[in-house]
């Protein structure tokens, strides 16, 4: 009996852990189950259930004049912002990693801290005034520049760790053979830190893809609005959410980011030791 008591405790402990993990997984899986089934239901409700299969919800969504165009707009904004963030963050991170400047680390941490404390909501008035003076209101370029400025400090901070972990012996060899700094960055540093660049690109796309406030304030016409803004217009005349359109649009809205994450995760693995993939 004395030997069996620890076995009972161990079994009960495992059952308790598995029950807790199953409950947590079920709590987070139910919304995903609803998202996967509601677009194919004739009359979707707020509860997850077996759908009465139909494709009419997708036909109704295609009849919406702004739904598909908003997804294209989101691609433009996300791709443009990610490209600028990756390029500028890589150059700045490389410079901060290789050049010894007084107060370099304090400057970097200060930028990161300020970008975290001063959120987009607090800065929208001066940003709107700046965009107005630069005639960037109702311009996709204005949204891209504003989003790029907000994401750059954190992106530089992330990439600097990758740059610090990159061996400098390759750069020194290239410098001996007359390579310029830009050639060193392009042909030596970038191939080594590609996992870090992919991480920053996915992070930037995800931030822009789900951002509502900046495009809502800077873009006037619905033909230029991204999907995050158009989603809030999918309501009935009585002010109720149109679950058929909303669930279908949410499914299409989620697919690009999920597919991008799966592709990059399969390609690079997201398992890093410093800036070098294991």
Q: Write the CA distances from 76 to 81, 136, 152, 204, 221, integer angstroms.
A: 8, 16, 18, 13, 16
pLDDT in tens, 57-110: 888 888 888 888 999 999 999 999 999 999 999 988 888 887 777 776 777 777
Label the pairing between strands 276-277 and 272-273.
antiparallel
Q: What is the pLDDT of residues 250-265, one digit of tens each?
A: 888 988 888 888 887 7
Please state which of the ranges 39-48, 149-158, 245-254 shows the lowest mean pLDDT: 39-48
Ramachandran area for residue 241 (φ above 0: left; ψ -120 to 50: alpha; else beta): beta
- For 277, phi then psi, to 5°, come to -70, 135
H or E segment to which residue 276 belongs: strand 276-277
Q: What angle do CA 213, 219, 221 make, to 5 degrees?
A: 130
Average pLDDT over residues 146-165: 86
Q: Are 83 and 145 in contact (CB under 8 A)?
A: no
| CA-based max dimension of the chain | 82
* pLDDT band of 277, cuts 50, 70, 90: very low
Residues 94 and 188 sit within 8 Å (Cβ to Cβ): no
Phi-psi region of 239 (alpha: psi -120 to 50; beta: other; left: phi over 0): left
Kindly report whether the global pTM for this prediction surpasses the value 0.75.
yes
Closest among 72, 78, 232, 227 to 143, alpha carbons compared = 78
Q: How far is CA 193 from CA 58, 84, 85, 93, 179, in A?
A: 41, 17, 15, 11, 19
Cβ atoms of residues 77 and 215 within 8 Å:
yes
CA distance linking residue 10 with residue 19, whole number of Å: 14
Q: DSSP character for 272?
A: E
Task: Tokens 């279908």: give the residue.
Answer: 248
pLDDT at 62: 85
Q: Is the dihedral of CA 248, 252, 253, 255 positive or negative?
A: positive
Pull the structure tokens for residue 57.
Answer: 């919800």
What tokens appear for 157 in the block?
A: 């901070």
Give dist(CA 96, CA 83) in Å, integer: 20
Q: Which helix (H) or strand (E) holds 273?
A: strand 272-273
Asked whether the predicted pLDDT for residue 276 surpasses 50, the reply is no
For the chain, what's the residue count? 278
Structure tokens at 177: 């053979």
Beta-carbon contacts of residue 270 (< 8 Å; ≥ 6 apart): 195, 199, 264
């Amino acid at each position: 009996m004395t030997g069996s008591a620890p076995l009972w405790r161990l079994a009960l402990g495992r059952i308790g852990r598995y029950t807790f993990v199953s409950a947590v997984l079920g709590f987070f899986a139910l919304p995903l189950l609803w998202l996967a089934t509601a677009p194919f239901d004739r009359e979707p409700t707020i509860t997850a259930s077996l759908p009465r299969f139909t494709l009419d919800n997708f036909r109704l969504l295609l009849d919406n004049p702004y739904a598909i165009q908003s997804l294209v707009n989101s691609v433009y904004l996300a791709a443009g912002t990610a490209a600028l963030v990756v390029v500028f963050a890589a150059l700045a991170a490389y410079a901060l990693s290789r050049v010894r400047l007084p107060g370099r680390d304090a400057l970097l941490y200060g930028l990161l801290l300020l970008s975290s404390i001063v959120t987009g909501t607090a800065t929208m008035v001066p940003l709107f005034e700046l965009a107005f003076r630069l005639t960037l209101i109702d311009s996709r370029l204005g949204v891209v520049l504003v989003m790029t400025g907000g994401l750059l400090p954190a992106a530089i901070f992330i990439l600097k760790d990758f740059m610090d972990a990159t061996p400098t012996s390759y750069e020194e060899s290239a410098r001996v053979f007359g390579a310029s700094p830009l050639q060193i960055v392009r042909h030596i540093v970038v191939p080594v830190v590609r996992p870090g660049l992919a991480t920053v690109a996915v992070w930037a796309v995800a931030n822009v893809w789900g951002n509502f406030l900046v495009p809502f304030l800077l873009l006037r016409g619905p033909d230029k609005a991204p999907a995050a803004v158009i989603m809030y217009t999918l309501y009935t005349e009585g002010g109720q959410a149109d679950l058929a359109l909303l669930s279908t649009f949410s499914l299409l809205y989620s697919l690009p980011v999920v597919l991008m994450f799966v592709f990059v995760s399969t390609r690079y693995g997201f398992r890093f030791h410093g800036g070098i993939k294991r």
